[in-house]
Amino acid sequence: MNLIEYEAYFWAKFFVAERAVSGVIIILIYLIIASVFAYILSFHIAKIYSDEKTVFSRATGGVISFFEKLIGESPDHGMNFREYFTNLLLFNFFAGLISFLVIMFQNYLPFSYDTIGMPPSLAFNTVVSFLTNTDIQHYSDPMRLSYLSQTLVITGLMFLSAGTGFAASMAFVRGIRTDRGNIGNFYHDFLVAIFDLILPLTIIVTVILIFAGIPETMQRYVTVNAFLTNKVYNIPLGPVATLEAIKNIGTNGGGFYGANAAYPFENPDWFTNLVEFVSFIIIPLASLLALGIVFGDRKFGRMLYWVVMFFFIFDALFAFFGEFVGVPFLHLGYYTGNMVGKETAIGISQSTIFAVGATITSTGASNAALVSYTPAGIIGVLIGLLLNDPLGGVGTGVLNIFMYIIFTVFIASLMVGKLPEIMSLRISSKEIKYSTLSLITHPLLVVIPLGITLMIPHLMSTFVNPGSSRITELLYEFASAASNNGSEMGGFDTNQPFFNYLDGVLMLLGRYLLMAFQLAIAQAFSVKKAKAQYYRSIDTSNWIFGMLLIAAMILIGLLSYFPIIVLGPLLSWAHDFNLMLGAMV
């Protein structure tokens, strides 16, 4: 054995033995790879945000203008907030209505093979869920949907919701960037988002996933005759790779199979796991970095990157160590961490970084059963949801973090005796009002349903786990719906009319109400001219501001949930912890 071989052997042994170290390193590798790709994409997104031509424009320009001529719109027709938002809302509403009808009548439509179908409440929930980029699935059986529904409704809405979200962020950036008094044309923005960004990326990811072995077929089922049980299983196939690609690129998160990315046909190994992780991080992260380019202040983009990374790394390590330490008293001898509900091919570190990434963005995909996470692990995953997805979905991440930025600028400016301004635009009381409204909407949408549900005993009857875990599960459910995330912890029967309708309303409000506030801010900015600065006002790009932003997100976003976190997951954790102590004594 020469020295190099010995070295390799030593380190291989070290990483196998020291699983905590290798886990942390894997998590960091995931983040680094995602960051590199996001950095590359940020230049592309910056071009889109600046209304410049991109590498795809030559190919897509004709398509976009064809569609625009078809509906009689043009990018020169600038819309103010009211017009833009009305068009966005109506467009989404009709898409939702058609989708609802397709699902309700799917058995009378083509491509329906043994489809079970959905009751109205579930159909409503599903349509709203995919329309709002949430992708909560209150069903797990793929047989509930026909192939037509899968393709038209599920995949169609996945594109539509991502495109809508990104269009909103284009309008927002335009409101800040320009002073024309309008925030652009919704249909143009939507088409650009689809054709210049989402579709090309989806195609690239689809190809990668197909090569990685994910099915892409129109074949109906694989019939498995299980050896021991002598029972025939029909495993549905379909265009899984495409769906998987748009599911992640569009930060949608709703899987082809109910088990989502924990299902081998969706996510067979570490490579697809990494590809999927990168593909749902890439647009939100690149959008933040692109802001730095668009506003001519690269440090601003970098500051946002580190603020998000702070939460990302903190949550990931919290979840990882929560799962890694697990509940050792269950295994007094050899203990490998909490592998319950996890895919062995993926392991703890890759499961937790995936889950945290899915809740820090608004993806909500999962490659493990979150209900079997330890309380500590679930806190790590939950923080993203409670903060209303700090990295956000396609487009919405930019909108969400700007609400915190506006508030932080307001307080920081006051503290130095200046009137608040951002990107040299004065922040007036109107913008503060809307950003406050948008910041408080999320906690209200989470806490009010939680409080109501807890008071109704028959709703609490389907829970599997006892005690404080139920509070955690409810909190998770509503936080996921309100933040349009779609991550599911489960633990109870979510397919009840009450939860179907309630979640549906939460998703609608969490999406469109927030978007209305945020676009109203964009409109307010769009009439303002930038100030030619002599000296910088508050420097919104340095580390002090970054720390203030983090503090504001914790104090305003997270701390309000303190009592519920304490009485839910923390109580369970303390409970386990005491059990563990008891077992040791």
Partner 1 sequence: MNFRKVYEEFILTLRNMRPDVIIHNPVMFLTEMSLFISVFIYLFPGFFGVPSTSTYLQFYLAVVILLFLTVFFSSMSTAMSEGKSRAITDSLKKFKTEVVAHVVRGDGTVEVKSTDLRKGDIIIVYRDEIIPIDGEVVEGSGYVDESNVTGESRAVMKVIGDTVTGSTRLITDRIKIRATADPGSTFIDKMIELVNRATRERTPNEIALTVFLSGLTLIFLIITASIFSISHYYGRTANVMMLIVLLIALIPTTIGALLPAIGIAAINKVSEYNIIAKSGRAIENAGDIDTIILDKTGTITIGERQAVRMYPNKGVDEKEFYRMCALASFYDQTKEGISILNLAKSNGISVSDDDLKGYRFIPFSSETKYSGIELENDYVIKGSLRALKEKFHVADEFIEALCKEISMRGGTAIPVVHNGKFAGVIELQDLIKPGIKERISEIRNMDIKTVMCTGDDEVTAQYISAQVGLDEYIANSKPIDKYNVVIREKERQRMVAMVGDGTNDAPALAKADVGLAMNNGTQAAKEAANMIDLDSNPTKLMDVIFLGKQILITRGALTTFSIANDISKYFVIIPAIFYMFPSLSLVNVLDLTDPIVAVTSALIFNTIIIVFLIPLALGGVKYKPTSISDLLKRNIMIYGLGGVVVPFIAIKLIYMLLVALGVVW
Binding site for partner 1 (CB under 8 A): 407, 410-419, 424, 426, 428-429, 432-433, 436-437, 439-440, 443-444, 447-448, 450-452, 454-455, 460, 470-471, 528-532, 534-539, 542, 544, 548, 551, 555-556, 559-564, 566-567, 570-571, 574-575, 577-578
* 281/358 Cα distance (integer angstroms): 8
In the complex, minimum distance from the CB of residue 480 to partner 1, in angstroms, rounded to a whole number: 17
* 368/365 Cα distance (integer angstroms): 9
- 45 residue type, one letter: I
In the complex, minimum distance from the CB of residue 66 to partner 1, in angstroms, rounded to a whole number: 40
Residue closer to partner 1 by CB (options 87, 428) is 428
Residue closer to partner 1 by CB (options 140, 560) is 560
In the complex, minimum distance from the CB of residue 270 to partner 1, in angstroms, rounded to a whole number: 36
Instruction: Give Rg (Cα) of the chain.
Output: 24
Exposed e or buried b per residue across 423-460, where buried means at least 16 C-beta atoms within 10 angstroms of its C-beta: bebbbeeebbebbbbbbebbbebbbebbeebeeeeebe
Pick from 53, 399, 55, 393: which is nearest to 246 by CA?
393
> 69: which 2 tokens?
């001529």
> 291: which 2 tokens?
């802001």
In the complex, minimum distance from the CB of residue 489 to partner 1, in angstroms, rounded to a whole number: 17
Residue closer to partner 1 by CB (options 238, 568) is 568
Residue closer to partner 1 by CB (options 162, 509) is 509
* 520/224 Cα distance (integer angstroms): 54
Residue closer to partner 1 by CB (options 71, 448) is 448
Residue closer to partner 1 by CB (options 291, 538) is 538
> 96: which 2 tokens?
């939702």
In the complex, minimum distance from the CB of residue 346 to partner 1, in angstroms, rounded to a whole number: 32
Q: Which residue has the tokens 């009010």?
A: 448
Ramachandran angles phi, psi of 345, nearest 5°: -65, -15
In the complex, minimum distance from the CB of residue 202 to partner 1, in angstroms, rounded to a whole number: 38
Ramachandran angles phi, psi of 235, nearest 5°: -100, 115
In the complex, minimum distance from the CB of residue 361 to partner 1, in angstroms, rounded to a whole number: 24
137 close to 254: Cβ distance less than 8 angstroms? yes
In the complex, minimum distance from the CB of residue 389 to partner 1, in angstroms, rounded to a whole number: 18
Residue closer to partner 1 by CB (options 25, 419) is 419
* Three-state DSSP state, 364: coil
In the complex, minimum distance from the CB of residue 418 to partner 1, in angstroms, rounded to a whole number: 5
* 453/146 Cα distance (integer angstroms): 33
- 407 residue type, one letter: F
Task: Taking the CA atoms of 218, 220, 226 and 229 in sequence, report the sign of the dihedral they define.
Answer: positive
Residue closer to partner 1 by CB (options 64, 570) is 570
Residue closer to partner 1 by CB (options 12, 456) is 456
